[in-house]
C-alpha cells in the first residue's frame, strides 16, 4: 500500500472515531398538559357552559329538579359553592336525576374532588348513556387523574354525539399525542384551534406533532408564539430547544434557553442542557455559571443530564470539570455514573487500572450491557490486547443500543490488523444500522485498499 493510501486510511479511521463518539440529539417526551390550562379563560368558559341544559341531547328535567337547579345556580353566583354542594348532595331528587347527578359531578370537579366527580358523572351516564356533556366532563376528570385511555373513550363519544367545543378537540389531541399518534393528534389540535385559536396548549400540541412529522422548522416557529403567550413556562422553551438541536442548530437552542435561565425559570435538567451547549461552543465561563445554578437549588439535576454533560466535558478533555461533576453527583451509584467514573479514571490517566477494574466489574454484573462492554473493549485496544477487545466488541454488537458503535470499533480494530475484508463486513453492518456519507466514503477506501493488498 502506498504512503498516501496509508495516510488517507488513517484519516478515515479518525472519522470513524468521530462517528462513533459524536453526541446524539436530546429527545423529548410529549409535554404534559400545562397546569395553566385549567385556569385558561377558554377552558373556564367551556366548563361553566356545561351547567346549562341542552334539551336535545340530555335528560329531561322535572319542575322540581329545575327549581333545585335554579337555587343551586343562585348559590354559585353568590360564591357559595360549598352550600350549593351540600344542598345538591342532601336533596332526595339528586339520586334519581341524571341531570342533578351531573351537576353534582361538576361541583366536585371544581372543588378538586376528582374521584367523586368521576363517580357522579359515571352514575349520570348509567341512567342516560347519551348524555353528551357527562361524557365530556367525565373525560376531563379522567385526564386530571392521568387516565388518558378512559378519557379518550369519552371524548370520542362526546364528539360522536355532536360536541364541537375547541376544548374537546384539543384534549382529544392531547390524548392522541401521548399515544404518539402524531397525525391524528395534529388533526384534532387544528380542529380545536378553529374555535379556540388563542389557547397556547393547542399551538404547543401542534408543534409537537409537527416535530415528530418532520416539519421541525414550522414547529419551532409556532413555539415562538406559544413562548410569547407563556414566557414564564420554561417547558415550551425546552421543547423548542430540543427541536433546534434536531435541526442541528445548537446556537439557536442555547439562545432559546438563555432567557428563562436568566429569569430563574429554568429547571435543573434544562439548565445542565444549556451548560452542555455552552461547553460544546467553548463558552467555558457561561457553562460554569449554568452548572453552578443547576446544583444550587434543592432539586438536583437527574443522572442522565449529568452523564450527558460529563460526555461533552470528556470530549473536550476537561478532566477537572468531569471530576467536579462526578463529585456533585454525590452518592448516586447508578450503572451510568459508575461507567462514567471508569471512563474518567482511564481517559484522564488518573488511575487506568482502577478504571479497567471497574469496567470489568460492570460487565460481570451485567454481561449484556453494551456500553460497559464497549468501554472495556476500547480500553483493551489502547492497551494492545486486540483479541480480548474483539470478543468484547462482538458481545457489545448484540446490544441494539451499542451495535453501531461496536461495529465501528470492530472495523477500526480490523484495519489496525490489516484485516480489510473483515473491516468491510463490519462497515456494511454499521451502514445498515445508520447510513452515512462519511462511512460510505470510508468503505470505498477500504475496498481500494483491499484490492491493492491482494
Average pLDDT on 296-311 reads 92
Give me the phi and psi of 230, to 5 degrees please.
-130, 65
From 289, 262, 273, 191, select the one nearest 239 (Cα to Cα).
Answer: 273
Query: CA torsion sign, 244 to 246 to 249 to 250?
Result: positive
Cell numbers 463529585 correspond to: 327
Residue 114, all three cell numbers: 376528582
Helix axis angle for 148-160 and 132-144, nearest 10°, is 160
* pLDDT greater at residue 70 or residue 238: 238
- Left (φ > 0), alpha (ψ -120 to 50) or beta: where does 32 sit? beta
The answer to whether 451 and 25 are in contact (CB under 8 A) is: no
- Left (φ > 0), alpha (ψ -120 to 50) or beta: where does 386 sit? alpha
Q: Does the pLDDT at position 18 exceed 60?
A: no
Average pLDDT on 325-337 reads 89
DSSP 280-323: HTT-HHHHHHHHHHHTSSSS---HHHHHHHHHHHHHTT-HHHHH
Residue 132, all three cell numbers: 353528551
pLDDT tens-digit series, residues 131-164: 999 999 999 999 999 999 999 999 999 999 999 9
Residues 29 and 89: their CA atoms lie apart, in Å, by: 41
* pLDDT greater at residue 433 or residue 94: 433
Q: Does the pLDDT at position 97 exceed 50?
A: yes
pLDDT tens-digit series, residues 32-61: 655 565 566 655 555 555 545 454 567 878
Average pLDDT value for the chain: 87
Residues 46 and 48: their CA atoms lie apart, in Å, by: 6
Q: Does the pLDDT at position 114 exceed 50?
A: yes
Q: What pLDDT score was predicted for residue 77?
A: 80
Domain covering 1-30+366-454, topology: 1.25.40
Average pLDDT on 78-87 reads 83
The answer to whether 130 and 107 are in contact (CB under 8 A) is: no
Specify burial of residue 107 (Cβ count, 10 A radius: 0-12, 13-18, 19+). Answer: buried
Q: Does the pLDDT at position 125 exceed 70?
A: yes
Cell numbers 480500553 correspond to: 379
Name residues whose C-beta falls within 8 Å of residue 167's C-beta, 6 or more positions apart in sequence: 42, 43, 46, 47, 192, 196, 199
Q: What pLDDT score was predicted for residue 24?
A: 45
The DSSP secondary-structure symbol of 131 reads -
The answer to whether 304 and 336 are in contact (CB under 8 A) is: yes
Q: What pLDDT score was predicted for residue 56?
A: 54
Rounded to two decimals, what is the model's pTM?
Answer: 0.74
The answer to whether 309 and 325 are in contact (CB under 8 A) is: yes
Q: What are the sequence ranges of the domains in the chain?
A: 1-30+366-454
pLDDT tens-digit series, residues 173-222: 999 999 999 999 999 999 999 999 989 999 999 999 999 999 999 999 99
Query: 3-class secondary structure for 51-67?
Result: HCCCHHHCCCCCHHHHH
Chain centre to alpha carbon of residue 328 = 24
C-alpha pair distances (Å), 45 with each of 37, 134, 309: 12, 16, 45
* pLDDT-based confidence at residue 88 (cuts at 50, 70, 90): confident
Q: What pLDDT score was predicted for residue 401?
A: 94
Q: Does the pLDDT at position 236 exceed 70?
A: yes
The answer to whether 374 and 406 are in contact (CB under 8 A) is: yes
Q: Does the pLDDT at position 1 exceed 50?
A: no
Average pLDDT on 258-283 reads 94
* pLDDT greater at residue 383 or residue 60: 383
Residues 318 and 310: their CA atoms lie apart, in Å, by: 9
Percent of the chain with pLDDT over 70: 87
> Quick one: how many helices (H) and strands (E) in the chain?
25, 0
From 453, 454, 441, select the one nearest 8 (Cα to Cα).
Answer: 441
Residues 164 and 162: their CA atoms lie apart, in Å, by: 6
Amino acid at each position: 500500500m502506498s504512503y498516501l493510501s496509508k495516510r488517507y486510511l488513517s484519516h478515515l479511521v479518525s472519522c470513524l472515531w468521530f462517528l462513533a463518539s459524536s453526541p446524539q440529539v436530546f429527545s423529548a417526551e410529549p409535554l404534559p398538559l400545562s397546569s395553566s390550562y385549567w385556569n385558561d379563560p377558554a377552558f373556564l368558559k367551556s366548563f361553566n357552559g356545561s351547567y346549562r341544559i341542552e334539551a336535545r341531547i340530555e335528560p329531561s328535567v322535572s319542575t322540581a329538579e329545575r327549581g333545585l337547579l335554579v337555587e343551586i345556580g343562585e348559590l354559585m353566583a353568590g360564591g357559595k359553592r360549598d352550600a350549593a354542594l351540600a344542598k345538591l348532595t342532601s336533596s332526595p331528587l339528586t339520586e334519581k336525576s341524571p341531570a342533578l347527578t351531573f351537576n353534582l359531578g361538576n361541583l366536585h370537579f371544581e372543588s378538586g374532588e376528582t374521584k367523586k366527580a368521576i363517580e357522579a358523572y359515571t352514575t349520570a351516564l348509567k341512567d342516560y348513556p347519551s348524555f353528551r356533556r357527562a361524557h365530556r366532563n367525565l373525560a376531563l376528570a379522567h385526564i386530571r387523574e392521568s387516565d388518558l385511555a378512559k378519557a379518550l373513550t369519552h371524548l370520542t363519544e362526546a364528539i360522536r354525539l355532536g360536541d364541537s367545543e375547541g376544548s374537546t378537540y384539543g384534549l382529544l389531541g392531547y390524548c392522541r399525542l401521548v399515544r404518539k399518534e402524531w397525525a391524528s393528534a395534529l388533526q384534532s389540535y387544528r380542529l380545536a384551534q378553529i374555535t379556540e385559536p388563542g389557547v397556547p396548549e393547542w399551538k404547543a400540541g401542534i408543534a409537537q406533532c409537527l416535530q415528530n412529522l418532520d416539519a421541525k422548522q414550522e414547529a419551532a416557529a409556532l413555539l415562538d408564539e406559544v413562548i410569547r403567550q407563556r414566557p414564564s413556562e420554561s417547558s415550551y422553551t425546552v421543547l423548542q430547544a430540543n427541536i433546534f438541536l434536531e435541526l442541528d442548530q445548537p446556537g439557536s437552542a442555547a439562545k432559546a434557553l438563555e432567557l428563562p435561565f436568566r429569569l430563574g425559570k429554568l429547571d435543573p435538567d434544562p439548565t445542565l442542557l444549556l451548560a452542555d451547549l455552552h461547553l460544546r461552543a467553548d463558552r467555558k465561563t457561561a457553562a460554569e455559571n449554568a452548572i453552578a445554578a443547576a446544583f444550587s437549588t434543592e432539586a438536583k439535576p437527574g443522572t442522565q443530564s449529568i452523564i450527558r454533560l460529563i460526555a461533552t466535558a470528556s470530549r473536550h478533555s476537561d478532566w477537572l470539570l468531569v471530576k467536579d461533576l462526578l463529585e456533585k453527583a454525590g452518592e448516586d451509584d447508578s450503572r451510568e455514573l459508575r461507567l462514567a467514573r471508569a471512563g474518567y479514571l482511564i481517559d484522564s490517566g488518573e488511575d487506568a487500572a482502577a478504571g479497567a477494574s471497574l469496567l470489568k466489574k460492570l460487565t460481570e454484573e451485567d454481561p449484556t450491557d453494551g456500553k460497559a462492554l464497549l468501554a472495556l473493549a476500547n480500553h483493551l485496544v489502547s492497551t494492545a490486547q486486540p483479541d480480548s477487545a474483539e470478543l468484547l466488541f462482538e458481545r457489545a454488537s448484540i446490544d441494539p443500543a451499542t451495535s453501531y458503535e461496536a461495529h465501528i470499533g470492530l472495523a477500526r480494530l480490523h484495519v489496525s490488523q490489516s484485516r480489510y475484508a473483515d473491516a468491510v463486513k463490519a462497515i456494511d453492518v454499521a451502514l445498515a444500522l445508520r447510513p452515512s456519507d462519511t462511512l460510505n466514503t470510508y468503505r470505498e477506501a477500504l475496498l481500494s485498499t483491499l484490492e491493492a493488498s491482494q
